[in-house]
Amino acid sequence: MTDSNVKNFLNSRLEWDKIFQHSVPAHANSFVYTIGGTLIALGILQGITGVILQQFYNPMPGAGGAYDSVVTMMNSAEISFIRSLHYWGAQIMVFLVLLHLIRVFVTDSYKKPREIQWLAGIILLLILFGLTFSGTVLKMDQEAVEAMEHQIESAETVGSVGNLFTSQFAPSVSLLARLYAAHVTVLPAIALPVLGIHLLLVRLLGISIPILQKNGKLIPAVTKTVPFSSHIKRMMFYGLIAVVITVIISVIIPAPLGMQGVEGIEITKPPWYLLWIFPLEDAFGISSIPVISVIIVAIIVAAPLLNRTPHTNHRTKKLMIVAMFGLITIFIGLMIGGAVVSIGSHL
């Protein structure tokens, strides 16, 4: 059977052409517009490495449990490398998701009619943070125990709403086991359909194009198009580069593991993407974590409400961009503040 026969066979059964044979704006092939696709490649890497790690991980607290199983993994060069891939893959995913969020914001891609797509993206962002947080806790080193204690204390500050995130919700099951279930089952199970909606809307609404208003008419700023298949190839190319970068970093810098977790002390700092919480907690206490998190999410969700013109309104856009850079500056400022502040002051 020749290649074309295979294609015809698949096309006649799967309506292959309906998915791939359509046009997308030419600018969609720049790296800026392929971050989402790159994230999917890394997501697949996370899935594969995660399933492998699952075979060696023991989600039980205490002696001979989670921490010891991670130590055992680290004693094997192969499994240790897989763990490093999983760790660095997650770090790069968080970074790319933040970049993707900024790109969508800068290019007005969140505006009407893409509000649902924007919301689905925010849900995916929250799920990714949930996955990285629960992944941090699973290793049960000192950083993990402190993260779990922060989770419990934060949840307790929101009363019955936070009960789900504490040990009281299911006293017969360890919180670690429930976080493990969330990491490998619950969060991926929510993420997949939401990702499906996100991608379906990309297909139905198309990749966004800057819209200009000239003489009362709305006109697209870009008219050149390329086949969607070339966009897919470009995304696969960038995805492959992201995977190669992950492999290189994993070879050079193995995933860290701290000392076995001890409850009741605070001597570590959170990962870089959560480090902004550290100085805020210093200043306002642990109850500020859920409050500030909800406010940040609400601000991001509300973006389509704040900028509702279908075309590029330069004045509004300038304000939105200034606000965005203000938020980025605060975010980075707090992260750096968290990095340099003495740990002793947080006890």
Partner 1 sequence: MKLIRKNNYNLFYILLIVFTISFPLQIYGHGEDVELEELFILSRFIDGNIDLSPSSEQWEKSFEKDYDSKWDHDISVKSLNNGTNVYFLLSWDDSTKGDDVKIRDGASIIFELQSEGVDEQVENIKNDELNEIWSWDASNSDDLSDMILDTTWENQKWNVLFGRSVLTSGQDVITFESGIKQEGFIKIVVWDGSAGETVEQIDEENLSHADFILLPFIDTYPKDVFVWSALLVVGAVSFIFVERKLHFKKEIEK
**Strand 211-214 vs strand 23-25: parallel, antiparallel, or unpaired?**
unpaired
Stretch 178-207 residues interacting with partner 1 (CB under 8 A)? none
Say how far apart CA 303 and CA 115 lie, in whole Å: 9
CB of 141 to partner 1, least distance (A): 9
Stretch 72-111 residues interacting with partner 1 (CB under 8 A)? 95, 98-99, 102-103, 106-107
Is residue 65 close enough to count as binding partner 1 by CB under 8 A? no
Stretch 302-321 residues interacting with partner 1 (CB under 8 A)? 302, 305, 312, 321
Say how far apart CA 59 and CA 67 lie, in whole Å: 9
Q: What is the DSSP letter of 211?
A: E
Q: Is residue 207 within 8 Å of 25, Cβ to Cβ?
A: yes
Contact with partner 1 (CB under 8 A) among 140, 275, 277, 280: 275
Radius of gyration of the chain, Cα coordinates, nearest whole angstrom: 22
Amino acid at 301: V
Pattern 111-150, binding to partner 1, x per CB under 8 A?
----x--------------------------x--------
* Cβ neighbours of residue 236 closer than 8 Å, sequence gap 6 or more: 37, 41
Q: Transcribe 309-322 into DSSP letters.
A: -SS--HHHHHHHHH
Is residue 156 close enough to count as binding partner 1 by CB under 8 A? yes
CB of 79 to partner 1, least distance (A): 22
Is residue 230 close enough to count as binding partner 1 by CB under 8 A? no
Say how far apart CA 116 and CA 110 lie, in whole Å: 9
Is residue 291 close enough to count as binding partner 1 by CB under 8 A? yes
Say how far apart CA 262 and CA 66 lie, in whole Å: 14
Contact with partner 1 (CB under 8 A) among 221, 244, 248, 283: 221
Given the rule CB under 8 A, which of 52-60, 188-196, 198-206, 279-287 is the region that contacts partner 1?
279-287
Q: Please list, residue by residue across 225-253, b when 16 or more beta carbons sit within 10 angstroms of its beta carbon and e when fewer do.
A: eeebeebeebbebbbeebbeebbebbeee
Residue closer to partner 1 (CB basis): 153 or 282: 153
The residues that touch partner 1, with contacts defined as CB under 8 A, are 27, 30, 32, 95, 98-99, 102-103, 106-107, 115, 142, 153, 156-159, 161, 210, 212, 219, 221-223, 258-260, 262, 264-265, 267-269, 272-273, 275, 285-287, 290-291, 294-295, 298, 301-302, 305, 312, 321, 324-325, 328, 332, 335-336, 338-340, 342-344, 347
